[in-house]
Amino acid sequence: MPARNPEELDRLFSEALNAGNLEALVALYEPQATLTPEPGHVVTGAQAIREALRAFVALKPTLTLDVKTLAQTGDIALTSAKWALAGTGPDGNHTTMSGYSVEVSRRQPDGSWLFVIDTPWGLEWGA
């Protein structure tokens, strides 16, 4: 199901991650989108995003979030989400992380929305 507004992208991301559906996650991004899977590390393009998200899917996580649109002009939107993730690390230990993301999304010709820039650690970068 495609996102019909910018906020829905985050909801669909959460549902796909919680279900362990890597391909549904990648489908939420434009082909040349960027993702910052960890502070200071940016990946570009569907294959790089797939590989970065594979590590998060492996955690078998539960992701919760609260998203809002910060600004929108025409077919471009800026959103932010307060998020929390809990899962199991490669060592078998419980792991948690949280943050405040910043995303840029774009309305597609069919009216759906896709991520162009996804920075889950967006507001922590300068902290």
The radius of gyration computed from the CA coordinates of the chain, to the nearest angstrom, equals: 14
90 or 45: which leads in pLDDT: 45
Number of domains in the chain: 1
36 within some domain: yes
The whole-number pLDDT of residue 76 equals 98
125 within some domain: no
51 within some domain: yes
Q: Which two tokens stand for residue 15?
A: 């549902």
39 within some domain: yes
Burial level of 112, CB count in 10 A (0-12/13-18/19+)? middle
**Rounded to whole angstroms, how far apart are CA atoms 36 and 122?**
9
Mean model confidence pLDDT for the chain: 92
The whole-number pLDDT of residue 10 equals 94
Full strand arrangement of the beta sheet holding 29-38 = 41-44, 29-38, 113-119, 94-107, 76-88, 62-73
Burial level of 120, CB count in 10 A (0-12/13-18/19+)? buried
pLDDT > 90: percent of the chain? 81
What CATH number is attached to the domain comprising 66?
3.10.450.50
74 within some domain: yes
Domain enclosing residue 93, as ranges: 6-119
The whole-number pLDDT of residue 124 equals 61
124 within some domain: no
pLDDT tens column, 58-117: 999 999 999 998 999 999 999 999 999 999 988 888 989 999 999 999 999 999 999 999
E strands within the chain?
29-38, 41-44, 62-73, 76-88, 94-107, 113-119
The whole-number pLDDT of residue 122 equals 78
Residue carrying structure tokens 């996650």? 25
The whole-number pLDDT of residue 64 equals 95
127 within some domain: no
**Rounded to whole angstroms, how far apart are CA atoms 40 and 29?**
20
